[in-house]
Amino acid sequence: MPADPPDIDETDEAPPWDTGEPERDENTADIFGAPPAVKATEDKPAPASASVTPVPVSAAYQVLARKYRPRTFEDLIGQEAMVRTLKNAFSSGRIAHAFMLTGVRGVGKTTTARLLARALNYESDTVHQPSVDLTVDGIHCRSIIEGRHMDVLEMDAASRTKVDEMRELLDSVRYSPVEARYKVYVIDEVHMLSTAAFNALLKTLEEPPPHAKFIFATTEIRKVPVTILSRCQRFDLRRVEPEVLIGNLKAICAAEGALVEEEGLILIARAAEGSVRDAQSLLDQAIVQVDRGQTVTAAAIRDMLGLADRAQTISLFEEVMKGHAAEALTGFRTLYNFGADPAVVMLDLLEHSHGASVAKALGPDALTLPKDQAARLAAIGAAASAGTLSRLWQMLLKAYEEARRAPDPAATCEMALIRLCYAADLPGPEEALKALQSGEPLPGGRAPAAPGGGGSGGGGSMARALAPPSMAQAEPVAAPQIVLQSFEDVVALIERRRDIVLKLDVAKYMRPVSFRPGAIEFEPAPGAPGNLAQRLSAKLKEWTGQPWLVAAQGGGGAESLLEREHREKAAERKAIEADPFVQSVMQAFPGTEIVSVRQLATPEAAVGEDATSEDED
């Protein structure tokens, strides 16, 4: 029999695979989260002078749009009508079971939904009913804000569009809330739900249990079925006005200690297009354009947004309206060389066309622009007819779309500017037909002649194409051009045209600031009519055949003609009263007054009067 193997004493000798080395590197972290092993330091004590400097851990930066998200209904800006309706509903106890919030991006739909969830479940030591007064956090407010309350379910319909997911959600509706007053279901972008999901939601939404509330938010209200809309209380959140946005941005800048020029805030408010979140995100981006403590200039914000200088685009618009193609192309190339996007330039011209039309109808105060820019657009609107501005708007819309799709946007914009300059003063169909019927030459449509006398502008070619043969053979006689070199020439022209009402208004209310052929700037005297600039510009264009820009400025004007006349009369009267002969007469006859001062013309002797008197002698 084989002998038994000898017993192995485990305590006497280590197995061959046990080398005595540590099982893991002391410098590596454990996969279960244990800290690295610490070496024994008895044999190598640390020097007494050694010190460890802790590395500061910086908190994650929170963007302004999240940092200044409204926490109460009073913090919502630009939505006063909705807040007033909700306050009245909560105070009277007429709270709907479903709310539909709609509006463009960034106006506060999701924020309002969360505020509504807090208001429905608001509870404190003294308040035990729904309340829109959220200035003091209630028992459930903090957990709802942080998104961890078990009775407030917030979901994104874009990621849960299927009917099975909606049925799973609706199965939990019949259960009572765990700790809050209501089970609140917040569904964002509800228009993304499928038709089957909407149908599954319909019955529950029509007869919900008393403990369930639904809050929907969407940017595409027309994609929501009317059967759903009819069962919800709808709130249309409006775009926030630029003035309100600017005030909000100023408050944020003051809280953040940031220095931003007001003109730069105006640019941000314009670019946000009524969205509070977009405005705050752009402000967040603008603040880091300069070092801390420095002022963010409007030029830096304009460069950040890729916008052209508005004053330069208004000058470009003026040249287009005058029909000056060379000046318009030069102005556009200057903007393009400074980095302006051609499509953005066309968009600015579109805005100027709209602004000129609005100022023509409502006055410059209706524009949310600086006073000087609003006055310039108002002058353009006064000089152009409504038909011209409407035609220009349509052409600019087409030019903007072409600039966005064209392989060479700059060349496309230059061709569009040439078209616009050519058509700036073309007559409308009605004016052209009336001129042809009366045998008069077509107004406007001036264009440079081709080299070598090859042809003239579109206005003349159109007249020859449409006019009868007898009219086409006759050469039109050019009307004498009226040249006005001073403001007094303008007043004299008005007097010659016998427009008494316009002459009185110009003499009484216009204080000239500057004059150049084709443009008048004036300071309106108190009580001036709002349409004075428009009336004068229209009459001057009618009488001279040239467009005139008449703009009202804030101040710095000279005296009006009536004020100058009164001053001269007062000085003349004072000189007469100081005359020694007049003073002696007034002393000789106490109580005498100078009623009026008139210049008597010296009668001239008739022809042959001297000869007759000599014969009689």
Q: Give the pLDDT mean for 296-310.
A: 78
Picking from 337, 520, 541, the residue whose alpha carbon sits closest to that of residue 444 is: 541
Return mean pLDDT, the chain. 78
* pLDDT tens-digit map of 141-191: 899 988 889 999 888 887 877 888 888 888 888 889 988 999 999 999 999
Q: How far apart are CA 171 and CA 154, in angstroms?
A: 16
Q: Tell me the mean pLDDT in the region 201-212.
A: 89
Q: What confidence category does residue 228 fall into, taking pLDDT thresholds of 50, 70 and 90?
A: very high
**HSE of 274, CA atoms in CB hemisphere, 13 A:** 11
**Average pLDDT of 543-551?**
83
Q: What is the CATH number of domain 310-444?
A: 1.20.272.10
Enumerate long-range contacts of 379-382, CB under 8 Å, 24 or more apart.
379/519, 379/533, 379/537, 379/549, 379/550, 379/551, 380/317, 380/318, 380/321, 380/352, 380/356, 380/549, 381/355, 381/356, 381/357, 381/534, 382/533, 382/534, 382/536, 382/537, 382/538, 382/549, 382/550
Distance between CA atoms of residues 66 and 148, nearest Å: 18
Asked if 428 and 435 count as a contact pair (C-beta separation under 8 A), the reply is: no
How, if at all, do strands 549-552 and 212-218 pair? Answer: unpaired
pLDDT of res. 184: 93
CA distance 524 to 233: 50
Distance CA 316, CA 414 (A): 12
Say if residue 136's pLDDT is above 80. yes
pLDDT at 427 over 70: no
pTM of the model: 0.55
602 vs 214, residue with greater confidence: 214
Cα radius of gyration (the chain): 40
Biggest CA pair distance of the chain: 194
d(CA 10, CA 548): 112
What does the domain layout of the chain look like in residue ranges?
64-236, 242-305, 310-444, 487-562
168-177, 381-390, 450-459: least confident range: 450-459
DSSP state of 152: E
Instruction: State the virtual CA torsion across 202, 207, 211, 216 in degrees, nearest 10.
Output: 30
CB neighbours of residue 372 within 10 Å: 14
Reported as a pLDDT band with limits 50, 70 and 90, residue 516 is confident
- At 570-594, the pLDDT tens digits run 887 788 878 888 778 777 777 777 7
Question: Which range among 37-46, 410-419, 592-601 has the greatest average pLDDT?
Answer: 410-419
Contact 97, 267 (CB under 8 A): no
**Distance from first CA to last CA of the chain, Å, rounded?**
194
Same fold, 64-236 and 487-562: no
For the record, the structure tokens of 617 come out as: 């002698």
Give residue 415's pLDDT band: very low, low, confident or very high (50, 70, 90): very high
pLDDT at 610 over 80: no
Judging by DSSP bridges, how do beta strands 295-296 and 259-260 pair with one another? parallel
Three-state DSSP at 100 gives strand
Top mean pLDDT of 155-164, 174-183, 300-309, 467-476 is at 174-183
The dihedral over CA atoms of 85, 87, 90, 91, expressed in degrees to the nearest 10, equals -120
Token pair belonging to 6? 């000898």
For 411, phi then psi, to 5°, come to: -65, -35
Q: What is the CATH number of domain 64-236?
A: 3.40.50.300
pLDDT at 99: 94
Q: Pairing relation of β-strands 510-516 and 152-156?
A: unpaired
**What does the pLDDT read at residue 460?**
43
**232-270: buried (b, 16+ CB within 10 Å) or exposed (e) per residue?**
beebebebbebebbbebbeebbeeeebebeeebbbbbbb
pLDDT(116) > 90: yes
Distance CA 438, CA 280 (A): 60
Name the more confident of 27 and 56: 27
Sign of the CA dihedral with 550 first, then 360, 245, and 65 last: negative
Say which residue the tokens 């007898």 belong to.
470
Specify the 3-state DSSP secondary structure of 549: strand
Let me know: does 425 contact 384? Beta carbons within 8 Å. no
Q: How far is CA 147 from CA 99, 118, 212, 254, in A?
A: 20, 11, 18, 30
Q: What is the mean pLDDT of residues 239-253?
A: 90
Q: How many residues does the structure list for the chain? A: 617
Report the pLDDT value the prediction gives residue 48, as an integer from 0 to 100: 40
Q: How buried is residue 197: exposed, middle or buried, by Cβ count under 10 Å (0-12/13-18/19+)?
A: buried
Residue 118: both structure tokens together: 């807090």
| 275 pLDDT more than 60 | yes
CATH 1.10.8 applies to domain 487-562: no
Residue 199, pLDDT > 80, answer yes
Query: pLDDT tens-digit profile of 335-352?
Result: 888 778 888 889 889 988
361's CB contacts (< 8 A; 6+ apart) are: none
Q: So what's the architecture of 242-305 in CATH?
A: Orthogonal Bundle (1.10)
The three-class DSSP label of residue 215 is: strand
Surface-to-core class of residue 343, CB atoms within 10 Å of its CB (0-12 exposed, 13-18 middle, 19+ buried): buried
Confidence of residue 4 (pLDDT cuts 50, 70, 90): low
